[in-house]
Every structure is written in C-alpha cells, then in structure tokens.
C-alpha cells in the first residue's frame, strides 16, 4: 500500500470509529490527521486535506480542544494558529475516559440515584423498578470507579492493569 492511500484509509477508519462512539465524523478525522502529522497544521492545511469548510474546521477544532486532546500552537513569526494532537496515546485515552465519565456517566448516576427514591408506591412494579435502578446505580458507580482507578495510573496504565489482572 502507498502512503497516500494508507493515510486516507486511516482517516476514514478513525472517522467511522468516531461516529460509532457518538463523536462526529469530521472531529475524529481532524484528530486522525493531526495525529499522523509530524508537524502542527494550520486551519488551511486541515481544510484542504479533508475538503471541509472553514466553519466546520473551526467548530470541530474547538471541540477537540475542549476535550483537551488537541492544542493550539503559535509559530514564531507566523500570524496563523497551528494545531497539534496529544502525542501520547496513553494520555489521549486517559483524557477521553475522564471526559466521558464527567459528561455522561456522572450525570447518569445522578439521575439513577434520584429516581430510585420513589415514594408511596407499594406495587410490585414500583418495587421491581426501585430494585433495578438501585442495582444499576451500584453497577455503574463501580464501573466508573474502576475506570478512575485504571486511568489514574499515569504511565502505561494499560500494561500495568493487565499485569495486575494476571497475578
């Protein structure tokens, strides 16, 4: 396979993976592009490479920066802004895990907690509901905890975790 072909395939694949995980395709593609670029890219570079509009590029770069996985850089003498991706993959995964926990798991836990406190209903249905939501709360908070434990090990968390699991 030739470089250009491989590059395009990578960007497409990363984009598709993104959509499957609730991240918009372009955002994932920009990230892919920045990841494999040895040097920071300007907005123009990205627009050109991915054939997307200026507005789209701008918005998605902002999102990526909100996630903390893409950074703005300034080159001396250049007026333009340049962008680069988090280079360390462990760190990338840790940040994504943290953000998803904060944005999705924590709020869900809150709702689960609130709704399992239903009052004044002794029906079988209500009892079953209460039991289920409590069980779910318990499970999700344990899972979230596990994720925290795993990702708080800064260096090489994947490897460390595997080692611990094999003991």
Partner DNA sequence: TCGAACTTTCAAAATATTTTGAAACATTTA
Partner DNA sequence: TAAATGTTTCAAAATATTTTGAAAGTTCGA
Closest separation between CB of residue 118 and a second copy, Å? 5
Interface mask (CB under 7 A) for DNA, residues 60-99, using x and -? Answer: xxx---------------xxxx------------------
Closest separation between CB of residue 80 and a second copy, Å? 20
Q: What is the DSSP string of 1-22?
A: --HHHHHHHHHHHHHHHHHHTT
Q: How far is CA 120 from CA 8, 89, 117, 123, 126, in A?
A: 59, 51, 10, 9, 9
Out of DNA, a second copy, none, what residue 43 binds, judged by CB under 5 to 8 A for its kind, is: DNA
Out of DNA, a second copy, none, what residue 58 binds, judged by CB under 5 to 8 A for its kind, is: DNA
Contact set for a second copy, span 20-49 (CB under 8 A): 20-22, 35-38
Q: Are 120 and 67 in contact (CB under 8 A)?
A: no
Token duo for residue 5: 């072909």
- Please tell me whether residue 52 binds DNA under the rule CB under 7 A: yes
Compute how many other C-beta atoms are within 10 angstroms of the C-beta atom of residue 38: 5
Closest separation between CB of residue 126 and a second copy, Å? 5
Closest CA to 28 of 2, 67, 54: 67
Q: What is the DSSP string of 43-100?
A: HHHHHHHHT--HHHHHHHHHHHHHTTSEEEEE-TT--SEEEEE---HHHHHHHHHHHH
Residues binding a second copy (CB under 8 A): 1-3, 6-7, 9-10, 13, 17, 19-22, 35-38, 89-90, 93, 104, 108, 111-112, 114-121, 123-126, 128-129, 132-133, 135-136, 139, 142-143, 145-146, 149-150, 158-159, 161-162, 164-167
Residues binding DNA (CB under 7 A): 19, 24-26, 42-44, 51-56, 58-62, 78-81
């Amino acid at each position: 396979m030739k470089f250009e072909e491989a590059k395009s395939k990578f960007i497409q694949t990363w984009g598709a993976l993104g959509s499957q995980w609730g991240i918009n395709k372009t955002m994932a593609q920009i990230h892919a592009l920045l990841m494999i670029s040895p040097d920071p890219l300007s907005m123009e570079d990205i627009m050109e490479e991915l054939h997307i509009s200026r507005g789209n590029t701008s918005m998605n770069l902002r999102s990526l920066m909100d996630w903390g996985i893409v950074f703005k850089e300034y080159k001396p003498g250049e007026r333009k802004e340049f962008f680069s991706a988090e280079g360390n993959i462990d760190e990338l995964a840790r940040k994504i895990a943290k953000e998803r926990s904060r944005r999705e798991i924590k709020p869900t836990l809150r709702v689960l907690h609130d709704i399992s406190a239903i009052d004044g209903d002794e029906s079988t249905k209500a009892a079953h509901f209460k039991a289920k939501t409590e069980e779910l709360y318990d499970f999700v908070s344990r899972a979230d905890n596990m994720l925290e434990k795993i990702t708080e090990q800064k260096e090489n968390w994947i490897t460390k975790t595997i080692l611990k699991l094999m003991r």
